Every structure is written in C-alpha cells, then in structure tokens.
Structure 1
Amino acid sequence: MSTSIRVSDDTKRMLESLKRDDETFDELLERLVQSEKPIDIGAWDKEDADRARAAVERSRESFER
C-alpha cells in the first residue's frame, strides 16, 4: 500500500538533509518517529520535580531581565 503526503519545499529539503544515502523516505520517516521516546510520566519523585520546576522558573526569569 502507498500513501502520498504533501510537504513544503523547505520541509522536503530538511528531510533530504536527514536522509541517509541508502534509505528511502519511508525508512527515514520510520527512523525519525521511532527515535521519539514518550515521556515517562511520574519518573521523578516530588522533590526532584519541585527542583526541576524551580530551575525552569529561574531560567525563565533570567530571560525576562
């Protein structure tokens, strides 16, 4: 089975730059989507999560100055 998808010329150029010489676009897209790992929700305990939130907040504040 085959399906066509439309992408802009810019997107096609970006995909071409990621594509290996020996792979098809289908193989490229499969590789890209498989490399995305879902976030493991609940991986941090409350203390670690609070520290991470505080670090993000400090980072955001530093850009506001």
Structure 2
Amino acid sequence: MMFPGSTWHRGIDLIAVERALSGRGPCPALTEEEQKYACREMTEAGMSGSVIAQRLGVADRTVTRWREAGAGDS
C-alpha cells in the first residue's frame, strides 16, 4: 500500500523514477528494480519501447523482456 506523499515504495525511489519518466534533464541512475518499475509506468503512459530503452539506458530487447515478464508488477 502506498500512502499519499510517499517517496519510496518497496525499495523503489519514486522521485528518481518520476524524474526518469518526466524526460526533463538527465535520467538519474536507477537500480534494476527501479528501471523495471519505470518501464511499467512508461508503458502504461503509452511510450514506445525504443523511447523507454533510450531514456533508461538499456537495450530495446531488455524493455521487451521486462514487458513480457510483467516488469514492476507488485
């Protein structure tokens, strides 16, 4: 359960993920779990796999694998 105003959720830095999602400025360094969470959020926002991969600094195939595995589902 997340609470309004929370900045962390199950070890995920939500502020860092939000910065990655926003596209404003450089993407912060994210853990793999944060990258997967961001991938899920970006997918739900309708972003393409190639845009997600570029934003997170991973290969397109990595985004495809995360999506197939239901990345970030909790």
> What is the TM-score normalised by the length of structure 1?
0.29
Q: Which has the higher contact order (CA 8 A, sep 6+)?
A: 2
Q: Which is strand-richer, 1 or 2?
A: 2
Rg larger in structure: 1
